[in-house]
Amino acid sequence: MYYAGADSWNLRDGHMFETLERLLESRGPGSKAVVWAHNSHIGDARHTEMGAARDELNIGQLCRERFGDEAALIGFGTHGGKVAAASAWDGEIEMKEIQPSLPGSYERVFHDSHVDRFLLDFSRDDALRRRLDEPKLERFIGVIYRPETERMSHYAHASLPHQFDAYAWFDLTTPVTPLMPEHISPGVPETFPFGL
């Protein structure tokens, strides 16, 4: 993963969390939100190398600390397929082939199950939680993907059932693709449904 230092990372995720708090407050009591973000932002950082070794926090950790059981942190993983990512910050988006997951990683354990897709609900299955509790390598692919340095760039040790409440698995994935103008209804603003 790309790191510019704990202070920079913490400032960014702290700002994401403050924005979420303000949005919830603006909608009044009982408001709810879904935050879609990369696993390194959504999973509780205290149970990853980023939190334990580098003193980095993230929006998932801040949500757990502030909202407790009212927050549900859900991660996603894959063994292979393709991803839309750049090779460098401010680089052009590329459709890249994902390297097969490394032996000893959570992704390899799930791939070796020979089940194409599933959802693990750690909040409802204590036995499953205990079986996957010991930290293993976890792959993080985000805006940047560098297959040539994948072990160093995209893997870190983490405890998946402590990092997330649930985990969605897709053995092979396909990249996101933008909607073309012909798929957008006339007159609908680009920022629908928010109109910001």
Beta-ladder partners of 48: 158
Neighbours of 36 (CB within 10 A): 8
| Domain 6-176 part of CATH 3.40.1660.10 | yes
Burial class of residue 132 in the structure, from the number of CB atoms within 10 Å of its CB (0-12 exposed, 13-18 middle, 19+ buried): buried
Q: In the structure, how many helices (H) and strands (E) does the chain have? A: 8, 6
> Which tokens belong to 36?
């879609």
Tell me the three state secondary structure of residue 117: strand
Tell me the three state secondary structure of residue 171: strand
Among 108, 134, 135, 110, residue whose Cα is nearest residue 120: 110
| pLDDT tens sequence across 13-62 | 999 999 999 999 999 999 999 999 989 999 999 999 888 888 899 999 99
pTM of the model: 0.85
| pLDDT tens sequence across 119-153 | 999 989 899 999 999 999 999 998 999 999 999 99
Amino acid at 108: R
Cβ proximity of 119 and 164 under 8 Å: no
